[in-house]
Amino acid sequence: MTSKILVLKGDGIGPEIVNEALKVLGSVKDKFALDIEWQEALIGGSAYDALGTPLPGETMELAQAADAILLGAVGGPKWSGVDGSLRPEKGLLGLRSELDLFANFRPAILYPQLAQASSLKPELVSNLDILIVRELTGGIYFGQPRGIRTLDSGEREGFNTYVYSESEISRIAHIAFQAAQKRNKRLCSVDKANVLEVTVLWREVVSEIAKQYPDVELSHMYVDNAAMQLVRAPKQFDVLLTGNMFGDILSDVAAMLTGSIGMLPSASLNSENRGMYEPIHGTAPDIAGQGIANPLATILSVAMMFRYTFARPEVAEAIEQAVQKVLNEGLRTADIATASDTRVSTTEMGDAVVAALA
């Protein structure tokens, strides 16, 4: 049966980088004679502009019917004045939640060719390979009640709810332990159990589940310390398990360790490995439309799609090797270029990956 991919380009640099990823998708489709097809729909600010909502019903229906989703990025200053419930980000969060994509994988791998682009000294990041497993459909991002209310005094107050049920914690913990089993068997669970009850429970549940994975060494770390350790000695980590908000923050930190946020792909999976694949970076409105954005995180997200949803690791590896090859050849978009590098455009980078695949 033909596998269906829904393509959501989104806003800002989203369309530019997804176009390059689609070239790569077309190229592996031919090379491996894959039975796949894709279709585009609107999400985020561009959906809001066209249809008045960041997550149109048609997009949701196509997403439900798709085997996998490839997404660029959503959001931007253009929509900063839009009512909270209609902001572009709500489109992305709605998809994650409706499709129950609770397991977010964010690998932070340093390509040796990019060691110079890291914000840390090369010896601290050489061979860096961390996996952040982020809970994606719960926590403070989704907790109720939430809002902005006016108190009797006339002063306004904003409020959100940080809540995790035992089952939400346990299902992401299992995913993280299993991921650690396939790697270096070390799992660090991130919390703020010295202050927040919700993460006291998080720590308890994760510790309990650890008994089912005696081969994995579990540690716990407060999020502030984890942020510090990531920039002090990142190689101490193998798999990091985080809630939704801590994972959002720490994955941006981890991204910079690898040279550029423009390099990091992600997979967001439900319990059946149906998934959404997107770069972890945003819409970069400051460079949108200039043709200089780095498409590699999106291209590497396509690789993750073949590894996780389509269970075709050889396709994933072919894409990853093609990326290695263009980096070896010295091709660099502006974000990963040092002063002596020649800079290539978004499309030149995409074309080079396609050429490397051939």
Residues recognised as catalytic:
141, 192, 224, 248, 252
The entry of ligand IPM, Mg ion, none near residue 89 (CB within 5 to 8 angstroms by kind) is ligand IPM
Which lies closer to Mg ion via its Cβ, residue 68 or residue 92? 92
Q: How near is the Cβ of 93 to ligand IPM at its closest, in Å?
A: 6
Q: What residue number has its CB nearest to ligand IPM? A: 89
Residue closer to ligand IPM by CB (options 27, 137) is 137
**Smallest separation (angstroms) from ligand IPM to the CB of 183:** 22
Q: What is d(CA 121, CA 127) in angstroms, rounded to the nearest whole number?
A: 12
Position of minimal CB gap to Mg ion: 248
HEC string of the chain equals: CCEEEEEEEECCCHHHHHHHHHHHHHHHHHHCCCCEEEEEECCHHHHHHHHCCCCCHHHHHHHHHCCEEEEEECCCHHHCCCCHHHCHHHHHHHHHHHCCCCEEEEEEECCHHHHHHCCCCHHHHCCCEEEEEEECCCHHHCCCCCEEEECCCCCEEEECCCCCCHHHHHHHHHHHHHHHHCCCCEEEEEECCCCCHHHHHHHHHHHHHHCCCCCCEEEEEEHHHHHHHHHHCHHHCCEEEECHHHHHHHHHHHHHHCCCHHHCEEEEECCCCCEEEEECCCCCCCCCCCCCCCCHHHHHHHHHHHHHCCCCHHHHHHHHHHHHHHHHCCCECHHHCCCCCCECCHHHHHHHHHHHHC
> Which partner, ligand IPM, Mg ion, none, binds residue 101 by CB below 5 to 8 Å per kind?
none
36 binds, options Mg ion, ligand IPM, none, Cβ within 5 to 8 A by partner type: none
169 binds, among ligand IPM, Mg ion, none (CB under 5 to 8 A by kind): none
Shortest distance in whole angstroms from residue 257 CB to ligand IPM? 16
Give the nearer residue to ligand IPM in terms of CB position, either 92 or 296. 92
Binding site for Mg ion (CB under 5 A): 248
- Closest separation in Å from C-beta 337 to ligand IPM: 24
Residues at the site binding ligand IPM, with contacts judged by CB under 6 A: 74-75, 89, 92-93, 248, 280, 282
Residue placing its CB nearer to Mg ion in the complex, 53 or 251: 251
Beta carbon of residue 318, minimum distance to Mg ion (angstroms, whole number): 28
Question: Phi and psi of 334, rounded to 5°?
Answer: -55, -40
> Is 16 or 248 the residue whose CB approaches Mg ion more closely?
248
75 binds, among Mg ion, ligand IPM, none (CB under 5 to 8 A by kind): ligand IPM
